[in-house]
Amino acid sequence: MSTKLKAIIIDDEPFAIEGLKALLIENSDLEFVRSFENPLEAIVFLKTEKIDLMFLDIEMPELSGLDLLRSLETPPVTIITSANPQYALEGFELDVLDYLVKPISGERLTKAVSKAKEYIELRKNSSTSTTYLFLKCEKVIEKIMLEDILYIESLHNYVALHTKMKRYVTYNSLKKLEAELPEGKFVKIQKSFIVAINKISAVEDSHVLIEKVKLPISRSKKDEVLAMIRKG
């Protein structure tokens, strides 16, 4: 029996929350945790609670859904729920998984949840035996050995993989690439950087050192990184 995905709703309209909540409760793949009318309260909650899936409205008075996403270090898998489709492009640039236009049908929600479940399972089940990635860099498909990667850097719509010998740039997102990496070997240290744990030579107050390159590390990630280093 597969584990249910823990889900929350963030929307300033109580009526919209109740309608979506009813659909989520009916879905056997989900465990509805709670809803928030105030996005600022949701941010506080997400800093301490592990949530798999977030249904997020865009137009809210205290803080827009897009600004909420930008404020989170590692947001849950996110599905936008909005009456206005105009934010779709900006949402996908922030790595949202899907975009549901209100009113949301049960059928459309089911498809979005299935998509989220597949994505999350892929991320969890990334084989530790994987030793390489194939990525399109300009017009060439490059084979990049995982053991050669020092760190990975987000460049807006592109991602740069840094190795000792070369820098590979590919049209991708950090979130999607993170899902392809084996667990326990790489860690996101900040919104824009993923590093190879065994390539870290030092951890300072606000930086990690890799091959004499200083990369910023967030306070919330420092303890996790140190624990992974000790674990080996």
- Residue 71 sits in the same domain as residue 180: no
Instruction: Give yes or no: residues 115 and 18 share one domain.
Output: yes
Q: Are residues 141 and 116 in the same domain?
A: no
Residue 182 in contact with residue 175, Cβ under 8 Å? no
- Over the stretch 166-185, which tens digit does the pLDDT of each residue have? 999 998 888 888 878 887 88
Same domain, 101 and 198: no
The encoded tokens of residue 115 equal 């998509």
Q: Closest Cα to residue 83, out of 23, 12, 8?
A: 12
pLDDT at 89: 83
Of 61, 91, 124, the last residue of a domain is 124
Which domain does 219 fall in, by range? 137-231
Q: Is residue 11 part of a domain?
A: yes
pLDDT tens by residue, 146-163: 999 999 999 988 999 999
Residue 121's pLDDT band, with cuts at 50, 70 and 90, is confident
- Given 89, 124, 159, the domain boundary residue is 124
CATH number of the structural domain spanning residue 223: 2.40.50.1020
11 lies in the same domain as 120: yes
Instruction: Say how many domains are in the chain.
Output: 2
CATH label of the domain that carries residue 52: 3.40.50.2300
Do residues 118 and 142 share a domain? no
The residue among 97, 124, 151 that closes a domain is 124
- Residue 38 — very low, low, confident or very high, per pLDDT cuts 50/70/90? very high
Residue 191, in any domain of the structure: yes
pLDDT one-digit tens code per residue, 53-88 = 999 999 999 899 999 998 887 789 999 999 998 988
pLDDT at 126 over 60: no
Answer yes or no: do 110 and 215 share one domain.
no
What's the confidence (pLDDT) of residue 92? 80
Inside any domain, residue 131: no
